[in-house]
Amino acid sequence: MMKLRAASSCILSCLLVLFLSSVSAVSDDSQDRQVYVVYMGSLPSRADYTPMSDHMSILQEITGESSIEGRLVRSYKRSFNGFAARLTESERDRIVEMEGVVSVFPSKKLQLHTTASWDFIGLKEGDRTKRNHTVESDTIIGVIDSGITPESQSFSDKGFGPPPMKWKGVCSGGENFTCNNKLIGARDYTSEGTRDTEGHGTHTASTAAGNAVADTSFFGLGNGTVRGGVPASRIAAYKVCDQAGCSSEALLSAFDDAIADGVDLITISIGDKSAQNFENDPIAIGSFHAMTKGILTVVSAGNSGPKDSTVSAVGPWMLTVAASTTNRGFFTKVVLGNGKILVGKSVNAFDMKGMKYPLVYGKAAALSTCDAETAELCYPDCLNRSFVKGKILVCGSPRGLKIAESLGAVALIFNSSKPDVAFIHPLPASGLSKTEFGSLLSYIESADSPRAAVLKTEAIYNQTSPVVSSFSSRGPNTIAFDILKPDITAPGVEILAAYSPYGELSEYDTRHVKYSVLSGTSMSCPHVAGVAAYVKTFYPKWSPSMIQSAIMTTAWPVNATGTGIASTEFAYGSGHVDPIAALNPGLVYELDKADHIAFLCGLNYTSDVLKIISGETVTCSEEKKILPRNLNYPSMSAGVLRYNNSFTVTFNRTVTNVGTPNSTYKSKVVPGHGSKLSVTVTPSVLSFETVNEKKSFKVTVTGRDLSSELPSSANLIWSDGTHNVRSPIVVYTDGY
């Protein structure tokens, strides 16, 4: 699906496989009907209630038709109540008024957004990492995505016993689709069957929980053992995306089923281009229900960075993941005729044996119908094949990828719009940064007969610290200003993992592979899902918020590509995931459903909207409300008014001791970005006699002259000498 979109317009600018873009309503061709989600909140507890017949009778009443075949698209009846149906606008207006109906919203299309990475983040293979295999194999990861490749070695069930007793799902993957004791469940909400014909869902599932598969590579590149975070865990695949995208109504069905099927955790690398109000966001609604059932949902932040305010998963009841590099990078060198070497990015497994070929810059190959400026960017239908054939085409933009092969070019060198990420291309290619591209142009201008060789990609393992990638969506949160999002970053650049042999590798690429290299927050999300599952295997009773807190407060500090807001906590939240440290957080910030409702009340949501999100009737009394920034979240953030030169904000928090009895934690504040914040913590020392004991404290932050360009930050660290429980504190002003 992504591939189609890439083919039509955006190539590199869309990161090839990625995340979300259009938000178009799904409409019925023939009549003026479109698919609406009729959401009815929680399931009534009455024993005699039969959701399906209720849905049918509502539809019959509204449409006046006795046969509602073709109208009812699906019923939600397992974890919450509602249905999706084809309705006209006037039918929609009437259905909103009906008893029991909480909201009606159009189904829209969302979009989809490895494996040295696990070693890099500290989850090593073998005896250096402690694991409880028995518990791990009782853990089930629900993957809501583009389906899965059941034959992949990553999902072989060699050595697996029967599915866990608690499993209540099914294998209904369609024709030629067989589950096994590793891939224990499959459901399809498209009409294609659960088989992944794209590659995305296979990649994300194998990153979270795929088996360890030795001697894997992409045509020799990145060779090694590919594996998921919890290789002994089981996988259930829920296919919601097809060529056209991922519809809201399908997403809600997948949540409805996954929760009832008994998954322990949901990973979802899908989202909208920017944050939507919670009541219109199927992922926010689905993950809220999952949270109430003790299931953590891990969601990708989106690929719309480095622009600010682009993070699309913003509810505090989900764990939102940004994407960063690992210590391995793919680099593709270009050797010029004069011996100079330029280093570009791509995943190029084609071996041209170092042969040099003549270079031709787009504008030197222009057809008479094209001006030089258009030709130098290599617009389609702009270049004369007779100048390009047998040469290396040089283009001022990635557009050349569309035409280089058909014009008979032997290779392509282009000015990359994303020079920090390597992509797969159908011919030898290297994407240069603006500066390197400038050097190439100077050489072409100065040389008599400019020539170059494009070398095979080298995997270089010398990048020291992870850096959040430019494409990763940034905060601030546009819906709940005082909740810092994204929450965490994880490897999402040049990740080798399982792929669908039916999927296209890249635009016009006829190669088929079982393992491929992809980049995106889609790839980082299942890393954190794997870590969350790993933590859960040690603490099966921990609530979603405890797991989330453990992951966030033990994250490493990181940097991000970009300037201004793009280089701050709005890129990486609490920092980089550390699976081993997350097993031993010391203290956790706990939250339950009532806390989230008090938070939503504090955002002044009306009871209608609250009902949509929580699925039940809620009255927001004054004592029930909390200031959003007092939600007991593991990070602290506040938007303050710009005209206030000086400001004071406070955060109330409560921590639970999950470490050792008789421990004493002292607070410490470390400065971060922007103008100086003065932070006081009361009390500044917390003593716990027992495990599970809770202690509250208040953080008061004062400062002045906040920049509108950069948030100001600090870190609060509670330390008992063994554990360092770190929370970023971020204060910002956007002039609102």
Residue 132 in the binding site for ligand NAG (CB under 6 A): yes
Output the smallest distance, CB 641 to ligand NAG, in A.
4
Among 122, 164, 358, 557, binds ligand NAG (CB under 6 A): 557
Catalytic machinery residues: 145, 200, 522
> What is the C-alpha to C-alpha distance for residues 551 and 539, in angstroms, rounded to an integer?
13
Interface with ligand NAG by CB under 6 A: which range of 76-84, 334-342, 565-573, 623-631?
623-631
| Torsion sign (Cα): 555, 319, 417, 336 | positive
Pick from 411, 376, 375: nearest CA to 390: 411
Interface with ligand NAG by CB under 6 A: which range of 106-114, 128-136, 158-166, 491-499?
128-136
Total residues interacting with ligand NAG, rule: CB under 6 A: 40
Distances (CA, A) of 383 to 30, 218, 257, 397: 42, 32, 52, 14
> What is the DSSP secondary-structure string of 55-92?
HHHHHHHHH--S--TTTEEEEE-SSS-EEEEEE-HHHH
Residue 134 in the binding site for ligand NAG (CB under 6 A): yes
Residue ranges of alpha helices (H) inside 123-261 are 133-137, 200-209, 248-261
Residues 659-698 that bind ligand NAG (CB under 6 A): 661-662, 689, 696, 698
Instruction: For ligand NAG, give the closer residue by CB, 42 or 702.
Output: 702
Q: Please work out, in degrees rounded to the nearest 5, the angle formed at the alpha carbon of residue 592 by the alpha carbons of 187 and 539.
A: 70
Site track 583-622 with ligand NAG (rule: CB under 6 A), x = hit = --------------------xx------------------
> What is the C-alpha to C-alpha distance for residues 134 and 211, in angstroms, rounded to an integer?
15
Interface with ligand NAG by CB under 6 A: which range of 231-239, 250-258, 267-275, 639-647?
639-647
Site track 378-417 with ligand NAG (rule: CB under 6 A), x = hit = ------x-x---------x------------------x-x
Residue 368 in the binding site for ligand NAG (CB under 6 A): yes
In the complex, residue closest to ligand NAG by CB: 396
> What is the C-alpha to C-alpha distance for residues 592 and 595, in angstroms, rounded to an integer?
5
Output the smallest distance, CB 447 to ligand NAG, in A.
17
Residues 229-268 that bind ligand NAG (CB under 6 A): none
> What is the C-alpha to C-alpha distance for residues 216 and 213, in angstroms, rounded to an integer?
7
Residue 433 in the binding site for ligand NAG (CB under 6 A): no
The residue assigned the tokens 């609250």 is 610
Among 25, 56, 68, 135, binds ligand NAG (CB under 6 A): 135
Whether the Cβ atoms of residue 327 and residue 493 lie closer than 8 Å to each other: no
> What is the C-alpha to C-alpha distance for residues 340 and 248, in angstroms, rounded to an integer?
52
Among 50, 338, 465, 680, binds ligand NAG (CB under 6 A): 465
Beta bridge partners of 82: 39, 76
Residue 627 in the binding site for ligand NAG (CB under 6 A): yes
Interface with ligand NAG by CB under 6 A: which range of 8-16, 518-526, 554-562, 721-729?
554-562
**Roughly how many angstroms between the first and final C-alpha of the chain, as a whole number?**
38
Spell out where 352-501 has E strands.
357-361, 392-395, 411-415, 429-432, 451-454, 458-460, 467-468, 488-491, 495-498
Output the smallest distance, CB 415 to ligand NAG, in A.
4
Spell out where 151-233 has E strands.
183-188, 213-218, 221-226
SS3 225: strand
> What is the C-alpha to C-alpha distance for residues 290 and 453, in angstroms, rounded to an integer?
53
Site track 152-181 with ligand NAG (rule: CB under 6 A), x = hit = -----------------------xx-----
Residue 445 in the binding site for ligand NAG (CB under 6 A): no
Distances (CA, A) of 13 to 113, 304, 331, 558: 13, 10, 19, 25
SS3 459: strand
Among 434, 624, 666, 676, binds ligand NAG (CB under 6 A): 434
Residue 644 in the binding site for ligand NAG (CB under 6 A): yes
The residue assigned the tokens 């070929």 is 357
Interface with ligand NAG by CB under 6 A: which range of 61-69, 74-82, 349-357, 460-468?
460-468
Among 52, 98, 355, 367, binds ligand NAG (CB under 6 A): 367
Among 250, 311, 497, 640, binds ligand NAG (CB under 6 A): 640
Distances (CA, A) of 49 to 21, 53, 696: 39, 9, 43
Instruction: For ligand NAG, give the closer residue by CB, 232 or 640.
Output: 640
Among 122, 224, 337, 358, binds ligand NAG (CB under 6 A): 224
Residue 354 in the binding site for ligand NAG (CB under 6 A): no
Chain contacts with ligand NAG (rule: CB under 6 A): 132, 134-135, 175-176, 223-224, 367-368, 384, 386, 396, 415, 417, 434, 437, 460, 462, 465, 557-559, 603-604, 626-628, 630, 640-641, 644, 646-648, 652, 661-662, 689, 696, 698
